[in-house]
């Protein structure tokens, strides 16, 4: 990745390359799902942060796009898209988020938010373990029916990540060596809201407990959800609705998601939910 350089995107030619990447990365078959050149033109003109990553041949291979928003009367950035071509993944997305954070801080912002699919374990690991994000909002079918092959088949439910880019816990997470995040014994022993087992090729929920009242709890998801959507769509839909039920129930009780632990070899990951004492 040392041959990759990142710069701001400001020209119509740049914007057209981003539209091409949208199709290439997410496999959209309908132009209604992509952000178009005119939208890039006027949002960048009025403060949007749009950056692109280029290889040694000056080909755009990734980008990150954030628009100006408001939350509780305070200005912030909404990061609508961050995408990298498959052959360039493995650290470039992280570099793009760090560049986005740097630009946001320089402009006086302290909060960046975005959505991600809570069933995507690798994205959860990235947003929590690497960036230090926190989630307390669940949005049902946020983007409606999608033409993307990655999203087709189940509602586009999303959780909203709040990345408070100047907070000490974010700075500590960005400064630490990956994989060395220590967890206390009581966190490790927190109850799991959904006991799961493996049935055939896939992991299933055996029982859901919505009555946990301890300060911390875990919600488990399987890895390989995109493949499950393609090969076992009914099971994927069941997982989607069960995870929706658990997040909504515990968010309503004052919990928020504060971390994610990926158990790649075992085929699952767990969200850590906690509420104030």
Q: What residues contact 20, with CB distance under 8 A and at least 6 apart? A: none
Residues of the chain with pLDDT > 90, as a percent, come to 83
Q: d(Cα 260, Cα 65) in Å, to the nearest integer?
A: 24
pLDDT of amino acid 148? 62
Nearest-angstrom CA–CA distance, 112 and 165: 7
Are 222 and 121 a contacting pair, CB within 8 Å? yes
Backbone angles phi, psi at 103, to 5 degrees: -70, -40
pTM of the model: 0.92
Query: Would you list the domain boundaries of the chain?
Result: 5-175, 185-274
Element (H, E) at 113: strand 111-116
Q: What is the pLDDT of residue 74?
A: 96
pLDDT in tens, 169-178: 999 999 975 5
Average pLDDT of the residues in 95-117: 98
pLDDT confidence tier of residue 107, bands split at 50, 70 and 90:
very high
Strand order from edge to edge, sheet including 134-139: 5-8, 49-54, 60-71, 74-84, 111-116, 158-164, 134-139, 256-263, 268-274, 216-222
Report domain 5-175's class: alpha beta
> Comparing C-alpha atoms, which of 36, 138, 53 is closest to residue 89?
53
What is the distance of C-alpha 133 from the center of its chain?
9
Q: What pLDDT does 54 receive?
A: 98
**Strand partners for 204:** 197
244 membership: H or E segment, kind and range: helix 233-252
CA atoms within 13 Å, Cβ hemisphere of 220: 22
pLDDT at residue 231 is higher than 60: yes
pLDDT tens column, 4-29: 999 999 999 999 999 999 999 988 87
How far is residue 185's CA from residue 43's CA, in Å, rounded to a whole number? 47
Q: Which strand (E) or helix (H) includes residue 170?
A: helix 168-175
Q: What is the pLDDT of residue 180?
A: 45
Encoded tokens for 271: 């969200």
Pick the range with the lowest mean pLDDT from 75-84, 112-121, 134-143, 174-183: 174-183
Consecutive H or E run containing 96:
helix 92-106
Tell me which residue of 203, 201, 205 sits closest to 231, measured CA to CA.
Answer: 201
The strand pair at 111-116 and 74-84 is best described as: parallel
Residue 38 pLDDT > 70, yes or no?
yes
Percent of the chain with pLDDT over 70: 93
């Amino acid at each position: 990745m040392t041959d990759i350089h990142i710069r701001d995107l400001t020209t119509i030619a740049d914007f057209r390359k981003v539209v091409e990447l949208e199709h290439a990365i997410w496999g959209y078959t309908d132009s209604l799902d992509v952000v178009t050149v005119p939208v890039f033109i006027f949002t960048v003109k009025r403060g949007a942060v749009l950056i692109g990553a280029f290889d040694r041949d000056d080909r755009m291979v990734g980008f990150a796009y954030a628009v100006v928003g408001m939350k509780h009367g305070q200005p912030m950035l909404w990061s609508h898209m961050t995408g990298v071509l498959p052959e360039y993944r493995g650290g470039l997305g992280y570099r793009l988020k760090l560049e986005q954070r740097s630009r946001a801080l320089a402009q006086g912002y302290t909060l960046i938010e975005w959505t991600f699919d809570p069933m995507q374990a690798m994205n959860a690991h990235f947003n929590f373990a690497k960036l230090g994000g926190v989630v307390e909002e669940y949005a049902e079918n946020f983007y409606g029916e999608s033409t993307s092959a990655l999203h087709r088949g189940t509602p586009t439910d999303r959780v909203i990540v709040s990345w408070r880019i100047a907070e000490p816990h974010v700075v500590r997470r960005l400064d630490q060596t990956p994989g060395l995040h220590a967890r206390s014994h009581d966190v490790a022993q927190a109850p799991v809201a959904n006991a799961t087992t493996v049935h055939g090729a896939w992991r299933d929920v055996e029982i859901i407990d919505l009555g946990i009242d301890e300060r911390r709890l875990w919600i488990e998801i399987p890895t390989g959800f995109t493949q499950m959507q393609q090969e076992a769509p009914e099971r994927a839909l069941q997982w989607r609705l069960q995870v929706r039920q658990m997040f909504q129930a515990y968010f309503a009780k004052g919990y928020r998601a504060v971390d994610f632990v990926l158990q790649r070899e075992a085929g699952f990951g767990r969200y850590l939910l906690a509420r104030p004492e």
